[in-house]
Amino acid sequence: MTYHPEHGTGLQDNTELLRRISARLADRFSGVFAAETVERYVFESYTALARTAKITTHLPSTTEHFASDRLSALAKSKDAVTSDVPEVLFVCVQNAGRSQMAAALLTVESKGRIRVRSAGSLPAAELDPAVVAAMSEMGLDLTRAYPKPLTDDVVRASDVVITMGCGDSCPIYPGKRYEDWELADPAGLPVAAVRIIRDEIHDRVRALAASLLNNPTSDKEVSNA
């Protein structure tokens, strides 16, 4: 069975490219997912990103990254693969500020010992420039990061879900740790104001990393929270 792209999304011009991406990911997930499932995820991911992407030059590469991450999450949620590290998902509205800063900071703080994702309930077209600038002051480059829509598979795969002003849009599943961080929205703020939000997020991220990594039984506690 071949996935048939919808009209009006720009898929038709990129069908062959997306099928090459699908073939690469089908090899990577061989024995876990059928090729048809992989292709469906690739085309769906492209469509989801294309709805809001402001610059489409890098859309194929971001599609491959996004689809691969979703498939990894799906495999984890279905127990097709096991993960020996905690998985954390940050969710805000646009995935252009708070959740992106938190994900970048936790990635650094955990040194690869936590798998980190971020998503938005209504993703923006691109990251907030002031957020990119504030993070670059810390030596963290977000120029290749991109807003991603919140999908069910990444929520199911997460041990900890941190929401930041996205209301009730994040689905609730048992056996997960949920936290809501009340933080100012950096959208449209100058860099000086974004620095304050960034530093508050950094403090919270340090505490989160410590709670997940310093307790030898933290993985078990998180999965059963």
pLDDT in 10s for each residue of the chain, 225 residues:
444 444 445 556 789 999 999 999 999 999 999 999 999 999 999 999 998 877 677 899 999 999 999 999 999 988 887 778 999 999 999 999 999 999 999 999 999 899 999 999 999 999 999 999 999 999 999 999 999 999 999 999 999 999 997 765 677 888 899 999 999 999 999 999 999 999 999 999 999 999 999 854 334 333 333
Q: Give the pLDDT score at 127.
A: 96
DSSP string, the chain: ----PPTTSS-GGGHHHHHHHHHHHHHHTTTTS-HHHHHHHHHHHHHHHHTT-S--TTHHHHHHHHHHHHHHHHHHHTTSS--SS-EEEEEESSSSSHHHHHHHHHHHHHTTSSEEEEEESS--SS--HHHHHHHHTTT---TT----B--HHHHHH-SEEEEES-TT-S---TT-EEEE------TT--HHHHHHHHHHHHHHHHHHHHHHHSSTTHHHHHHT-
Q: What does the block give as tokens for 95? A: 């995935």
Question: Are 213 and 113 in contact, with CB atoms under 8 Å apart?
Answer: yes
Q: Which amino acid is at 185?
A: D
Q: What does the block give as tokens for 169? A: 């849009």
Residues in the chain, overall count:
225
Question: For the segment 58-78, what is each residue's pLDDT rounded down to a tens digit?
Answer: 899 999 999 999 999 999 988
Phi, psi at 180, each rounded to 5°: -115, 115
Q: Which amino acid is at 194?
A: V
- pTM confidence score: 0.86
Q: Give the pLDDT score at 92.
A: 94
Q: Give the pLDDT score at 56.
A: 73
Q: What angle do CA 22, 77, 127 make, to 5 degrees?
A: 65
* CA 119 to each of CA 95, 138, 158, 162: distance values in angstroms, whole numbers, following the listed order: 5, 22, 12, 10
Q: What does the block give as tokens for 7? A: 């009209």
Cβ-based neighbour number of residue 3 at 10 Å:
18
To the nearest 10 degrees (0 to 180), the angle between helices 191-213 and 129-136 is 60
